[in-house]
């Protein structure tokens, strides 16, 4: 069962009695890995209160959408999903479910989600999931008392409330997610997260160690430490992320530690030295650069220049054997000129990222950048996005070419979908399995049966997009 860390006001008084005939709940997750973890925690909270978690929306009395506000498009998807879910029930002549919105959209839009044609029944923000059992109990009761309608929107930040997802929940890509802090104190001018997730607040090192020890006791061998900005972790100004990672690495039986997301400005040499020194820490850095132009970085309030970013990359390459990098880019930020954009392409060529998640700038209401003139026309944003993706692909292909013929160890994550490009037989025959190297590269191999979690070696024969095609070695 999910629990809370911290001395919290008791918000669970209305919790449903554990018992028979409680509602069945379907949870759908949007957005980042933090939301995936939160959904696991919600799952644990509801199962602990006796609710039945189901895997299909049509089986559910209650549907919870755990949402993301990072881009306009992400929010539109959820709104239209609400309409779709209602329509499916009407079409199949089934009773309408209770629909709830959780997560960042709940925090950003609050009561507004309860208005209009596509209104939802329940709105619960990121720090208030412990109220869900009680609220669902009221909303699904056969006789709904008058006061049940009073409190259907619960939002607001509680800095000492931290969820712990049940360690028994299955890992994502063979890695158990462990959120180590929430919120963010950096105020990048385009970003909604400090408003939806609130200020940074760390889970205690003791709680993190206990959670991971529970995962290892249950057979888990790999964790991904999660946070909006994990490298800013600093428990009571006394334990930074490097020290935390050292402590986690001491857990017997734990074999691999990954982490997401790092902020370039927190990638201090001593952290990179620690990552390079500890064998259990995987040599993969997801360090969003966002732009290659100092002028744009200043307007984004990213706290580094492109020169400092490239120095960090150079240092990491010295300190961390086999390190790979991935990143995020925003193109068409207000005021971005063609020269600024060319600077971004230059950084892409220099770093040679394994993966780049590239987006057009999307204005979020209420953030500082919303006051800037969104002056790059959409057609130009699209052109820059396409050019950036093309440069990334070209750069990546040159890196991937140098990998062909090498033999790499990787851990089996699960079965993989793979199809040869039309007209090109790449020699691969199914069934296919996906291995992941410690530096986060995917290798597709064919084999009848593989054991998930097994460490194997594969010879790299080629690649398709960002996945390598390999052949198992003895
Ligand atoms: S570091 Fe910046 S982009 Fe990342 S979550 Fe914090 S404010 Fe948002």
Q: Which pLDDT tens digit goes with each residue over 96-150?
A: 999 999 999 999 999 999 988 888 999 999 999 999 999 999 888 865 555 555 5
The CB of 442 under 6 Å from ligand 1? The reply is no
Give the model's confidence band at 358: pLDDT under 50 very low, under 70 low, under 90 confident, else very high. very high
User: Is 4 a domain residue?
Assistant: no
Of 107, 138, 154, the residue that ends a domain is 154
For residues 387 and 422, state if they share a domain.
no
Ligand 1 within 6 A of CB of 41: no
**What's the whole-number average pLDDT of the chain?**
91
Here the CATH number for the domain that contains residue 206 is 3.80.30.20
Structural domain ending residue among the three candidates 385, 400, 415 = 400
Return the axis-axis angle of helices 205-217 and 241-249, rounded to nearest 10°: 30
Q: For residues 134 and 227, state if they share a domain.
A: no
Q: Tell me which residue has tokens 């190297």.
A: 437
Please tell me the residue having the least CA distance from ligand 1 atom 8: 191
36 and 56 fall within a common domain = yes
Which domain covers residue 319, as residue numbers? Answer: 162-400
Q: Is the CB of 184 under 6 A from ligand 1?
A: yes
Tell me, yes or no, whether 203 lies in a domain. Answer: yes
- The fraction of the chain above a pLDDT of 70, given in percent, is 91
Residue 416: which CATH number?
A: 2.40.50.140
Q: Give pLDDT tens digits for 181-224.
A: 999 999 999 999 999 999 999 999 999 999 999 999 999 999 99
Q: Is 290 in the pocket of ligand 1 (CB under 6 A)?
A: no
Own/partner long-range contacts of 276-280 (Cβ < 8 Å, ≥24 apart)? 276/319, 276/320, 276/321, 276/323, 278/245, 278/246, 278/249, 280/249, 280/254, 280/255, 280/256
200 lines ligand 1 (CB under 6 A): no
Which pair of structure tokens corresponds to residue 422? 């039309």
Q: Is residue 1 part of a domain?
A: no
Confidence of residue 159 (pLDDT cuts 50, 70, 90): confident
What pLDDT score was predicted for residue 474?
A: 83
Residue 427 lies in a domain: yes
Domain for residue 99, yes or no? yes
Q: Do residue 25 and residue 102 come from a single domain?
A: yes
Average pLDDT over residues 354-369: 95
Give pLDDT, residue 170. Answer: 73
pLDDT at 22: 87
Residues 325 and 385 in one domain: yes
Nearest CA to ligand 1 atom 1: 186
Distance 186 CA to ligand 1 centre (A): 6
Number of domains in the chain: 3
Question: CA–CA separation, 141 vs 321, rounded Å?
Answer: 58
Ligand 1 mean position to 263 CA, how many Å?
8
Q: How long a stretch of residues is the chain? A: 474
Residue 5 has pLDDT above 70, yes or no: no
Are 108 and 188 in the same domain? no
Ligand 1 in contact with 229 (CB < 6 A)? yes
Answer whether residue 2 shows pLDDT above 50.
Answer: no
CA of 53 to the centre of ligand 1 (A): 32
Closest atom of ligand 1 relative to the 185 alpha carbon: 6
Give, using CA atoms, the residue closest to atom 2 of ligand 1. Answer: 188
Q: What is the pLDDT of residue 173?
A: 77
Q: How many CB atoms lie within 10 A of CB 16?
A: 21
| 193 Cβ inside 6 Å of ligand 1 | yes
pLDDT for residue 167: 81
Residue 2 lies in a domain: no
Q: Is 194 in the pocket of ligand 1 (CB under 6 A)?
A: yes
**Are 149 and 186 part of one and the same domain?**
no
Pair 311, 191 in one domain: yes
Is 289's pLDDT higher than 80? yes
419 — pLDDT class (breaks 50, 70, 90): low
333 and 415 fall within a common domain = no
Pocket lining: 186 vs ligand 1, CB cutoff 6 Å: yes
Same domain, 226 and 362: yes
In a domain, residue 421? The reply is yes
Among 137-146, 161-170, 362-371, 403-412, the minimum mean pLDDT is found in: 137-146
Residue 263 CB less than 6 A away from ligand 1: yes
Q: Given ligand 1 and candidates 186, 289, 303, which is best to mutate, with the most ligand atoms within 8 Å of its CB?
A: 186
pLDDT tens figures, 24-36: 999 999 999 999 9
Q: Are residues 96 and 141 in the same domain?
A: yes
Centre of ligand 1 from the C-alpha of residue 5, in Å: 24
In angstroms, the CA 334 to CA 299 distance is: 9
Tokens linked to 246:
């050292």
pLDDT-derived band of residue 9, with 50, 70 and 90 as boundaries?
very low
Minimum-distance ligand 1 atom for the alpha carbon of 263: 1
pTM: 0.90
Residue 369 covered by a domain: yes
308 and 393: one domain? yes
CATH number at residue 138: 3.40.50.2300
Domain-ending residue, one of 138, 154, 170? 154
Is residue 16 predicted with pLDDT exceeding 50? no
pLDDT tens digits, one per residue of 103-113:
999 999 999 99
Task: Answer whether 388's CB lies under 8 Å from 382's CB.
Answer: no
């Amino acid at each position: 069962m999910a629990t809370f860390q911290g001395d919290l006001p008791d918000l669970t008084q209305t919790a449903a009695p554990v018992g028979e005939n409680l509602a069945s709940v379907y949870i759908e997750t949007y957005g980042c890995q933090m939301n995936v973890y939160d959904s696991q925690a919600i799952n644990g909270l509801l199962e602990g209160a006796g609710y039945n978690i189901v895997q299909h929306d049509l089986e559910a009395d209650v549907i919870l959408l755990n949402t993301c506000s990072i881009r306009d498009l992400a929010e539109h998807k959820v709104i239209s999903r609400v309409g779709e879910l209602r329509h499916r029930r009407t079409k199949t002549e089934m009773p309408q479910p209770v629909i709830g919105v959780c997560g960042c959209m709940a925090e950003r839009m609050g009561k507004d989600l309860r208005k209009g044609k596509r209104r939802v029944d329940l709105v619960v923000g990121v720090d208030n999931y412990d109220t869900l059992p009680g609220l669902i109990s009221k909303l699904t009761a056969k006789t709904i008392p008058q006061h049940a309608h009073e409190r259907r929107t619960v939002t607001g930040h509680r800095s000492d409330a931290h969820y712990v997802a049940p360690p028994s929940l299955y890992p994502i890509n063979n890695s158990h997610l462990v959120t180590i802090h929430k919120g963010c104190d950096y105020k990048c001018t385009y970003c909604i997260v400090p408003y939806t997730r609130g200020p940074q607040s760390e889970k205690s090192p003791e709680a993190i160690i206990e959670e991971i020890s529970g995962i290892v006791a249950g057979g888990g061998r790999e964790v991904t430490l999660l946070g909006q900005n994990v490298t800013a972790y600093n428990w009571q100004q006394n334990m930074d992320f490097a020290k935390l990672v050292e402590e986690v690495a001491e857990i017997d039986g734990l074999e691999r530690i990954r982490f997401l997301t790092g902020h370039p400005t927190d990638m201090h040499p001593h952290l990179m030295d620690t990552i390079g020194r500890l064998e259990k820490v995987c040599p993969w850095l997801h360090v969003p650069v966002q732009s290659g132009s100092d002028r744009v970085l200043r307007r984004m309030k990213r706290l580094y220049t492109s020169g400092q970013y490239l120095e960090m990359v150079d240092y990491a390459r010295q300190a961390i054997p086999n390190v790979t990098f991935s990143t995020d880019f925003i193109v068409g930020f207000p005021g971005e000129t063609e020269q600024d954009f060319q600077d971004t392409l230059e950084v892409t060529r220099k770093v040679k990222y394994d993966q780049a998640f590239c987006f057009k700038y999307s204005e979020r209401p209420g953030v500082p950048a919303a006051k800037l003139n969104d002056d790059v026309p959409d057609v130009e944003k699209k052109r820059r996005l396409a050019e950036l993706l093309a440069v990334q692909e070209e750069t990546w292909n040159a890196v991937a070419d140098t990998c062909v013929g090498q033999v790499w160890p990787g851990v089996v994550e699960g079965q993989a979908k793979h199809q040869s490009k039309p007209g090109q037989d790449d020699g691969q025959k199914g069934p296919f399995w996906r291995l992941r190297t410690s530096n986060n590269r995917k290798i597709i191999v064919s084999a009848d049966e593989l054991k998930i979690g097994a460490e194997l070696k594969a010879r790299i024969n080629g690649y398709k997009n960002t996945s390598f095609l390999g052949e198992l070695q003895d």
